[in-house]
A and B are shown apart, each in its own frame.
Chain A
């Protein structure tokens, strides 16, 4: 069965510091991978996605993620965190281009706090 693990429940970083959020997945086929961000009381906003090709993908708000098939990982990074990045981040694995496949499976999320 598909699964996503985000090992870190809560991370605190200083403003201006670099950030890496970890994500490991289990998926039977070639995965379609996503990172979403959720601010308090809000829905999920798509940060970036990986379907195929270049394993380093760029997203919005200065985020990037690297797909490593050998490690079954899709870690999210940002070189310099801003206070407005404080939110909950979700990694998800999806069904790709075939309608009717299993839906998005989400990790439990990582809550990011940013301190001055």
Chain B
């Protein structure tokens, strides 16, 4: 089985712009979670989608949003980018029980 894929792998944006990141889960997985990883804060949970519904949400501002499509692919969007949004964004997928999450390679976002 192919693993979790994320596109693009690298992005450079400027403050105030918006960005959309994409994640394709492992085939058959219906749960997709997003995490932000920074040197200072470590790995922080953004949100989780299951069957096109947001099932859980972390403590991030409303500028961070996501969605999931009927094929379980997910996107996350960050609007009005700030310098502090520079991070590695990781997507993880899991199966029915959501007990084990498998991570993609991440998208590294740099905001200038």
Contacts and interface: CB of A to CB of B under 8 A. Distances in A.
Band of interface residues on A: 20 to 34
A34 B101 CA distance: 10
A106 interface: yes
Interface string B61-99: 000000000000000000000000000001010000111
Nearest to B56: A103
Given A34-B100, A94-B99, A103-B56, A42 B42 contact: no
Interface residues of B, number: 26
Contact of B102 (A46, A100, A107): A46
Given A43-B90, A45-B103, A108 B55 contact: no
Contacts of B98: 95, 97, 99
Interface of A: 32, 34, 36, 41-46, 49, 51, 90, 94-97, 99-109
